[in-house]
Structure 1
């Protein structure tokens, strides 16, 4: 089983699929041709499920970074005999200013290792294992590299080096002297597509340069945020861009599956899909960290996928495949041992069948954010959005599974009621766009009914806070969204009490925030949620508590790994990152909290010294 810390990995992406590479230089996760495609390397989940390592022989000190304004990774190995630099990236093709990043991605992983001084001995192991480790492909030498074929997949590893084949494994050792470099390209094709041709060393170098130039061109054109933690915000914007499936504009929640929320536990989910519930926060983060065009592209895809479902059902499906697929049926891969023995390993996600009323508000909130981009909205989309508001008005009294997708009996979760309120609040503000003046009175009356019910049944005198569900005394971090979406000002006495209660009673020893602590049907306990910690910082900033917000924010970002990536959770006992990695929601929370703190700092600039 895999034992490497989750924080040991860095992300590579071509805006279609993704890879994870360890500090030691091993590609331990790669799915082709899409984020949710079957893996060709999955040592992340089982030692026998495939990898491509390139490591220096003997002891070494390792440092790494993303090259400036890019997602091109540079790893430096300091050995007793010399220094080597490994550059890893997924090719995005030739990119011109103004073109969409990744529009020409060829389905290719690029690696180049060079000796900077002295001499360095390098060991390469290439063990492709298709379909999550089920298929050990045939390998055979071809001119300029090694071909692998198995099932529906063909891979070509291009290299000028001699690559000895041992069954379904390539193992080679080579020595580089100062100034020498070895270059590699791994190309993917479906078995029925045209034959692959090996890449020359010059072509590999050119593709790496094109990829670096493409990321930098995109960053220079789209990233304008100038507030505190500027580099972190820009980097998070690039991570979110790396999660975008360019052909459709969909954004995955994470590029991995089954990295556990509790070591050895069963909270192991497949996050390689797009959740409607993430829409509003994702779009807001893209607005800050990238540009309105990227946000609009995501919304345009999402509205189309969801609207198709509304034609067949009175409710909204909560999540979709990156191509717009609806059936995400969940199954277990029993042949994989799981990260640190955490089973089951799942692909697909059964939550696609759940009912979550909050998505009405999240979808219409995205429309309100993008109002300026949607003046020419088509009639079908307009009618669909009116139906979304009507559905929120009709269904807000009903129980559901809530934002945390609790796999138990439906309940009256406060967050779901809140987002139904948001749906109607947005619809009323968008009346001209939606051309629905006849519905405003009804929407307004229902919005007030939701507000009254939330204030009466969502507040707990015992907890002295707004709580998880109607009639509950349990704290839930999602109540921090109440001031963020404008339901109550953060300075309201009840809201301040809730913020303080969460900061004091729903945190661990590191000052990070749990989603909730109430029983949820699972025997294992999960870690603290980085998104929820950023929500706390965001709410504190809105309350004018700028210093507290900064402290909360900096506690959260302290858990980013050495290349600025965040997982979903943090183990409260060890401080180790847990959950699927990197996690879009965590980076979304970082961006939006940084923005809120920057705005709060401006309003209190005379009293802020940082």
Structure 2
């Protein structure tokens, strides 16, 4: 059973796949060549599901950081006899720069450990277990390293020191003295292609440097945000780029699957996919972080993946694989114990089968964020169909944005986003060639508005509620001012914000999604996204000081390398859920912008 804290990991990415490396130098998660590929290392979910550790063979004091403006992790080990520095990265394509990051990734995990003082004994422990631990590969020594075969991929480990293989695990120990370094590389490739050759240590060193320069060039291109918390916003922009599948522009919700929403519970989902639900908030965050090309690529991916899937008899898919796949059927992996015994471990996500009416608003709001001149005829036709679907179907029940796996209901947020769909469609009508539909859209928009104001507002509760004619609170009601449905100074908005802040927040000031039963066992943690929504909404209501304090409370749960999980455990205060979570970083960026726009700089 894996017990290591989720916050102990740092993210590596080549904008196609992802790895997580612990503070003591163990790669416990690697999916390659895509984010949603079967894991080669999955010790994150089971102690016996594979890892690759590089570190001192003696006790050490450990510190780490990302090299400035990069996703190259530098870990420093200070031992009684000397100091060693480990640098880890997933290689970018040679000389990739700027927005092209990830276009030609070589599927190579690079690791270089250097002794900078005294001498340090270093241990290398290489135990790949492809397909989430189902395969124990055969290992064959070759010149400059070894080759591991088993399953659909061939793994080539470049290692300039002798490796001893036993029980599908290769080990080596070497003492490095000041000035010496050890370069290692793991390359993956399909079994039907020639086996990737080993890399020499000098090549590993050069490619790490080239990858760092690639990330820095991207960061320089996206350094135009001048508002508060500039470094946090810039780093969150890099995390979003790192979670982008460069060939299509898709952005995954997180790099992992089945990290639970409560320890030992069943709320364990696969987040290695792209949600339409995230579209408009993602584009707003990308715009704030000056990621114009990423905006266009992400929207183009969503529009292209959904094209041809919208008609009178079908629901618009709510999520896709990074290549545009629709069928994401869910299954469990019973051979894995799960993080801290949190089973089942799931791959795939059956939420793809759900009806979520909010997706129409997300798509049209995302389109509204972009320059309409970029839309081709097929995209315009698709957006027109989405607007018509929102107008036709807004009165139907659905599962809501939180994908509650129970009976369909009339969720307020879904109605709100149908209102958004028609509001943005009216604004885009000239571009869509649909000015004749504006009267109908405007009439339907006002009907939705009336339903939200009369049936969504509960005077006794003093807030807009989770469902029409309901009594329960839901943090998604904070979206009312965020999407422009009501101004921040509306008394009902201020009352709803206050209700969320007092009745859904815990003692740390972090916000739950809701407190209602949702058909699943076990509690869940507070959501960092919802907490950033509260900070954002407070700024819109003129309470910028309070918003700033809520923002700082949420941002404080980033780990030592600035990564945010999905949630925070209500009892222990430990980050939990899939990691790192795009939605949390999106919420941070958008809340920072809103607080800056409110005119009050952050406190020192």
Scaled by the length of structure 1, the TM-score of the pair is 0.98
Alpha carbons 2:98, 2:219 under 8 Å: kept: no
- 1:106-505 residue pairs with structure 2 within 5 A? 106-310=106-310, 314-370=314-370, 372=371, 374-505=372-503
SS of the residue corresponding to residue 340 of structure 1 reads coil
SS of the residue corresponding to residue 480 of structure 2 reads helix
Alpha carbons 1:158, 1:199 under 8 Å: kept: yes
Distance in 1 (alpha carbons) for counterparts of 2:301 and 2:569: 35
The reply on whether 1:532 has 2:530 as its aligned counterpart is yes
Distance in 1 (alpha carbons) for counterparts of 2:586 and 2:442: 31
In the other structure, the counterpart of 2:551 is 553
Distance in 2 (alpha carbons) for counterparts of 1:312 and 1:459: 31
Structure 1 residues without counterparts, runs of 5 or longer: none
- C-alpha displacement of 1:523: 2.1
Distance in 1 (alpha carbons) for counterparts of 2:219 and 2:299: 21
- C-alpha displacement of 1:314: 3.2
Could you list the runs of 4 or more consecutive aligned residues of structure 1 that deviate by over 6 angstroms after TM superposition?
Answer: none
Alpha carbons 2:419, 2:448 under 8 Å: kept: yes
Distance in 2 (alpha carbons) for counterparts of 1:507 and 1:159: 51
Distance in 1 (alpha carbons) for counterparts of 2:502 and 2:577: 24
- 1:501-580 residue pairs with structure 2 within 5 A? 501-580=499-578
Distance in 2 (alpha carbons) for counterparts of 1:381 and 1:556: 37
Distance in 1 (alpha carbons) for counterparts of 2:603 and 2:337: 51
Alpha carbons 1:95, 1:101 under 8 Å: kept: no
CA distance 1:78–1:98, change in 2 (3 Å)? closer
Per-residue CA deviation, residues 304-362 of structure 1 (Å, 9 max, x unaligned), is 00113226953200000000001000000000000000000000000000000000000
SS of the residue corresponding to residue 185 of structure 1 reads strand
SS of the residue corresponding to residue 296 of structure 2 reads helix
In the other structure, the counterpart of 1:47 is 47
Distance in 2 (alpha carbons) for counterparts of 1:297 and 1:412: 33
Alpha carbons 2:79, 2:120 under 8 Å: kept: yes
- C-alpha displacement of 1:543: 1.0
Distance in 2 (alpha carbons) for counterparts of 1:91 and 1:311: 42
Give the paired residue count. 604
Alpha carbons 1:315, 1:391 under 8 Å: kept: no
- C-alpha displacement of 1:99: 5.4
Structure 2 residues without counterparts, runs of 5 or longer: none
Distance in 2 (alpha carbons) for counterparts of 1:142 and 1:560: 42
Alpha carbons 2:109, 2:186 under 8 Å: kept: yes
Distance in 2 (alpha carbons) for counterparts of 1:152 and 1:312: 41
Distance in 2 (alpha carbons) for counterparts of 1:141 and 1:417: 61
Distance in 2 (alpha carbons) for counterparts of 1:46 and 1:64: 25
Scaled by the length of structure 2, the TM-score of the pair is 0.99
CA distance 1:113–1:460, change in 2 (3 Å)? same
Distance in 1 (alpha carbons) for counterparts of 2:325 and 2:296: 20
SS of the residue corresponding to residue 430 of structure 1 reads helix
Distance in 2 (alpha carbons) for counterparts of 1:505 and 1:260: 24
- C-alpha displacement of 1:194: 2.0
